[in-house]
Each structure stands twice: as structure tokens, then as C-alpha cells.
Structure 1
Amino acid sequence: MRSILVTGLLLASLCSAAQEYMPSPANITRTVQYLASEKLKGRGTNEKGGQKASSYVAKQFRKLGLEPGSNGRYYQPFTFTRGKHVNIPSRNVIGYLDNSAAYTIVIGAHYDHLGTAALFDGRYPIGQVHNGADDNASGVAGLLELARYYTQNGEREPFNFMFIAFGGEEMGLQGSKYYTQHPVDSLDNIHFMLNMDMIGRYNPSRGVGIGGYGSAMEWPEIFKGVQADTIKFFTDAAGKGGSDHHSFYVAGVPVLFLHTGGHNDYHKPTDDAHKVNAAAEAGILRIAVQLINNAMKVNKLEYVGEQASK
């Protein structure tokens, strides 16, 4: 009897731990340190470091038990042309959590950065490694933490989840443009898209900005009661912007965009891992979890276009 009781308590404890999992600063730090390491040389598009970064994300998706999201593969390859650079190869990395639901929540972040700046025609110092810790190793760390949360929280959510690490963002949102033009499931089936880009340099005097507040009728109600703990946030109505959520918004999908703002290391070789505030990022992700969970109480968000949201 005692053995059965102890076993039951252990199982209950394990279930409780799974349900209580929250974003981890240690995991965030580990991801950022790898993606922003000298080994990956800035994760440039069409550079070995960018390929290694996408392979790393696919490996993490596999470990978390996510299904390959693109025709039985984690990779969605594409090519694009940018100025004089023709047929540049890149790839999105897609992991899918199938909850047998009617609609899907897309969570995204771009994994690429400037690399050694070879494709930018002198706009940035060519040959210097731009590690891109905040831009956007921090967003990928957030992507993986949210994937970990929704695969390990012990719940079967009423929505499916599509986790996408986009390639080619620094070259003009190429990965998200390609995805919205070649979705693996109809865009009509997307509840909303949440994008994270530069969420690692939290400034308490500014707070974290959350864009897309005007992209769906229901966002004001969903935001009610969200507890920010020590993290301050503010909202912005715009669905358009300079990151991958823009591609989804102009395609008719409600969006949210998390961003801690610009800084002096933006697009410079000095955007290094030790400058990312992992504890604050974990707090930002706790806000994201609350928003996602509140949004799952709504059957389907009603998209609001640019003119109507003004």
C-alpha cells in the first residue's frame, strides 16, 4: 500500500511540475550563447552559420516532440532575389503541435542575422562577424521556450501550434513572405500569429512593446487581467512593421509583435550574448503565455484591417 501511495504521489508531483513549467532564463541563456557564438559567425543567409542555426532549431523541435511541419520535413526551403543577388537559398524551420483542433496559432521568430555582411553591399562592415544576440537569437530562444511550454505543460490545448523559425528576415522578410505565399495549411485556419524579434534587451524605463493590438477585435478584452510581474509593457495598434508579423498581417491574419526596442548595438558586431537579459526575457515570455492562453478562450479572432484599426 505504501509503495502504491508513494508512486501515486510521485506521479502527481511529476504532472504538477509539467503543468507548472514556465520559461527558463537558463534555457534562454544557453540558446542565445550558442546562436550568437563565434562558431556560427552571425548566422548569415547563405552562410554556413545560418545553416547551422536552422539545423539547431530543427534538432530542438525534434527533441520537443514537434512534428515536421512542411511535407514531412522540418525545413521549408526557398530562394529569393534581392537587388543584384539572385537565387539566394534559405529555409524556414517549421515544427507542428497537432491537438486535432480546427484552428492553429503560429508562433515565429527569425533565426538569421547579418553574418559577415557579404550580402549587404557595404552597408555593414564586410568580413566582421555580427553575432546578433538580441537580433534575433533572443527571439529564437523565446520561440523554443514557448514550444517547450506548450509541449510540456500537461494540457491538450484547444488550438494547434505552428512554431516557425524564419530565414532571410534581414534580407527583407523573405522567409515569412514565402510562408504566407506557400502556407502548409490555409491562412484562414490561423487564429493569430505571434512574432518575437529583439526581446533580449529589456529597458525598465521603456518596457516591452506589444504591437498588433489593433489587428483583431478581441485583443483589448484578451489583454485584460494580464499580470506583468516586474515587467512593464505597452501596446501599439499597428499590425504592420519591420519584422515577420508584417507578412502575416498584410495577408489577413491577426498578429502580436513583442519587441524590447532599439539600442546602440543594433546591427553592429557588438550585439553579443552577455548583453541579453535572460531573466527579463523569461518575464516577457510569461506575459506571452498569458496572452496566448487568454486568446484560446476565443473561438476565432476577427481580423481588423489597417483602415478599420485607425
Structure 2
Amino acid sequence: MKKSLLLMLLAGGMSAAYAQDTIPNAVSIQQTVNYLASDKLKGRGTDEKGGRTASRYVARQFKKLGLKPVNGNSYFQDFTFDRNAHKNIPSRNVLALLDNGAARTIIIGAHYDHLGTAGLFDGKYPIGQIHNGADDNASGVAGLLELARHYVKNAGKEPFNFLFIAFGGEELGLQGSKYYTAHPLMPLDKVHFMLNMDMIGRYNPERGIGIGGFGSAQEWPEVFKDVQQPGIKYFTDAAGKGASDHHNFYMNKVPVLFFHTGGHDDYHKPTDDANKLQAAAEAGILQLGIQLINRAMTFGELHYVGEK
């Protein structure tokens, strides 16, 4: 291991051995975000080369983990959508299944797209500038891949299947999740719950991580009871609706959870770069997520609660 990497690990408060052996781990999270938020991908814009490159990257990672495609032999679910004067914009979701032979499935999702060079946003953002989107939402994709690695390691031991989805077109109106819930590749009434991760890479210890959807299932209060993660503070919000991909699942009567570390000065700006990621804290957030997922799996079914 290079000395510089070792120093980085020690500075983050963990040994090199710990970082290599644990899932989730901060080194892997940082590496994923470094790639997805690099200038090479030019902000992963929808209908831009970098966005397509990002989708292929996620599909490769799913394949390396041994996860199965669910759309025939393809990891992709292609679709088009309209936005304002822009018609038939192409995008795609990236999906993979961990089949544990169970009757019900847990969906874990994060959107991989960002603003790109802002050409589809009608001047709202500086056109031509690269918006790398490290926190929004390379951080969520890193989390998606880490949770996939964790549950692949436990394949066959869990009482639920896992469907991992990287959504396209989120920044342009939650398009990927809107399309998936209208054209599901597995029955929505067999979904235990959907966990969405959107901007989980800039942990603020004063705020903690917000977890939305607490009111979307009768069992969530019991699932959350006594759950703690060292170094990670969290608070809950009842709302199942929201400005990210869990919203469309909630509107289709699926219980949801939504992880979000909050806004910051770099939100939707070209300055949302990988060197600002709090990778060790994100690993802790994912450990918290694993606790909640595992506790939710002790219930055979979660009972959806609609908006009151």
C-alpha cells in the first residue's frame, strides 16, 4: 500500500487493514466517487456521453458482483421522456438482482445522473461548465454498490431478494423512477420496501443524517427502536413524498426510506467535487442502513401507510 494512501486512512481514523476488510469501506466509496465525479465523465448528464459512460460503469460493477440482469439479458431499462421544449430525451435505468429465492424483494436505489454540462436545463445552470456531482449523487451510487457487495457476501442467507437500481433522469424530474414504477420488472406489490440514497456524502455532525419515509410503514417505529451507529447521528421525517426517487415508489404504495445528509453551498454547482466527500462518515451511514435493512427483514411484511 502506498504511503500516501496509508496516511489518508489513518487520518480518517481507521487502519489500512480495517479499510480493506470491511464492507462498506471508505476507500472503496472514495474510489467510486472519484471516478463518477471526474471531469472525464463531465457531470454524467442525461443524453450526454458521460451519463452513458456512468450507466455502463454501474452495469459492469453489478456484473462483477455476480448479480443477475432482470430485463432479459440486459442490465439496462431504456426509456425516453419529454421536458419542456426537449422531446424524446433518452435515458436508462441500471438494474441487477440478488435472487435469494424469496417471495418478496427489497429495492435499494440511487440516481447516477447529474447536471452534466447543463444543456437540458434551459439556462438555469451555467451551460458548458462541468457539474461533477460528487455528493449529488455519486455518493449515493457508491452507497448502492457497497450495499450490493455486502448482501452479495451474504447471498442465500437473507429471507428477501434484493433489487439494486441506479436511476437515470432524476435531475430532470425523477424520470427513471417514474418510468420504473410505471413499467416494473418485478411486481410492486411484492416489494418489502424501497431504500433511496440521494446525497449521503457530506455528513454534518451537527445536523446528522435525515431519514425520510418514517411514516410510510406501520412497522418503521419498531424497526428503528434502539438502532444506533457510533459516530452517526440521525433524525427521522414521516414524509414518504419528496424530491427524489423514493417519491414514485411511495405514490405506488411501497413503503420507503430516504437517506440524505442535507444541502450545502456546492449543491448543483460546478464545485460539488470528489475531494469534499466525507467517505468515512458515509461508510458509517451505510452501516446504519444495514442495521435498518436487517431489522426490517425480521418482519415478513411491512404495511404501507398512505398520506393522511
Q: Same fold (TM over 0.5)?
A: yes
Asked if structure 2 preserves the Cα contact closer than 8 Å seen for 1:21 and 1:149, the reply is no
Give the counterpart letter for 1:146 in structure 2: L
Listed as ranges, the matches of 1:1-150 within 5 Å are 21-150=22-151
Offset at residue 155 of structure 1 (A): 5.2
Corresponding position of 1:163: 164
Offset at residue 46 of structure 1 (A): 0.1
Q: What secondary structure is seen at the aligned counterpart in 2 of 1:68?
A: coil
Offset at residue 22 of structure 1 (A): 2.5
Offset at residue 275 of structure 1 (A): 0.3
Deviations 1:250-293 (A, max 9, x none): 01100000000000000000000000100000000000000000
Larger Cα-atom Rg: 1
Give the counterpart letter for 2:147 in structure 1: L
Change (3 A) 1:153 1:99: closer
Corresponding position of 1:222: 223
Offset at residue 72 of structure 1 (A): 2.3
Offset at residue 216 of structure 1 (A): 0.1
Asked if structure 2 preserves the Cα contact closer than 8 Å seen for 1:21 and 1:153, the reply is no
Give the counterpart letter for 1:200 in structure 2: G
Indicate yes or no: 2:260 matched with 1:259: yes
Give the counterpart letter for 1:211 in structure 2: G
Indicate yes or no: 2:260 matched with 1:271: no
Indicate yes or no: 2:301 matched with 1:300: yes
Corresponding position of 1:8: none
Give the counterpart letter for 2:106 in structure 1: I
Give the counterpart letter for 1:82 in structure 2: R
Offset at residue 156 of structure 1 (A): 1.8
**CA distance in structure 1 between the aligned counterparts of 2:258 and 2:131, rounded to whole angstroms:** 24
Deviations 1:210-259 (A, max 9, x none): 00000000000000121221100000000000000001000110000000
Deviations 1:135-183 (A, max 9, x none): 0000000000000000013652100000000000000000000000000
Q: What secondary structure is seen at the aligned counterpart in 1 of 2:200?
A: coil
Offset at residue 294 of structure 1 (A): 0.2
Asked if structure 2 preserves the Cα contact closer than 8 Å seen for 1:42 and 1:114, the reply is yes
Gaps of 5+ in 1: 1-16
Asked if structure 1 preserves the Cα contact closer than 8 Å seen for 2:98 and 2:155, the reply is no
The TM-score with structure 2 as length reference comes to: 0.92
Offset at residue 71 of structure 1 (A): 2.2
State the Cα RMSD in Å: 1.1
**CA distance in structure 1 between the aligned counterparts of 2:292 and 2:156, rounded to whole angstroms:** 16
Give the counterpart letter for 1:201 in structure 2: R
**CA distance in structure 2 between the aligned counterparts of 1:95 and 1:258, rounded to whole angstroms:** 21
**CA distance in structure 2 between the aligned counterparts of 1:117 and 1:128, rounded to whole angstroms:** 7
Runs of 4 or more consecutive aligned structure 1 residues displaced over 2 Å after TM superposition: none
Deviations 1:7-40 (A, max 9, x none): xxxxxxxxxx9xx843010000000000000000
Give the counterpart letter for 1:225 in structure 2: D
Q: What secondary structure is seen at the aligned counterpart in 1 of 2:215?
A: coil
Q: What secondary structure is seen at the aligned counterpart in 1 of 2:137?
A: helix
Corresponding position of 1:204: 205
The TM-score with structure 1 as length reference comes to: 0.92
Asked if structure 1 preserves the Cα contact closer than 8 Å seen for 2:209 and 2:233, the reply is yes
Indicate yes or no: 2:287 matched with 1:286: yes
Give the counterpart letter for 1:161 in structure 2: F
What is the aligned-residue identity percentage? Answer: 71
Gaps of 5+ in 2: 1-17
Change (3 A) 1:133 1:173: same
**CA distance in structure 1 between the aligned counterparts of 2:91 and 2:225, rounded to whole angstroms:** 39
Length, aligned pairs only: 289
**CA distance in structure 2 between the aligned counterparts of 1:63 and 1:25, rounded to whole angstroms:** 20
Asked if structure 1 preserves the Cα contact closer than 8 Å seen for 2:100 and 2:156, the reply is no
**CA distance in structure 2 between the aligned counterparts of 1:203 and 1:104, rounded to whole angstroms:** 32
**CA distance in structure 2 between the aligned counterparts of 1:149 and 1:225, rounded to whole angstroms:** 22
Deviations 1:80-99 (A, max 9, x none): 00100000000000000000
Offset at residue 190 of structure 1 (A): 0.2
Give the counterpart letter for 2:62 in structure 1: F
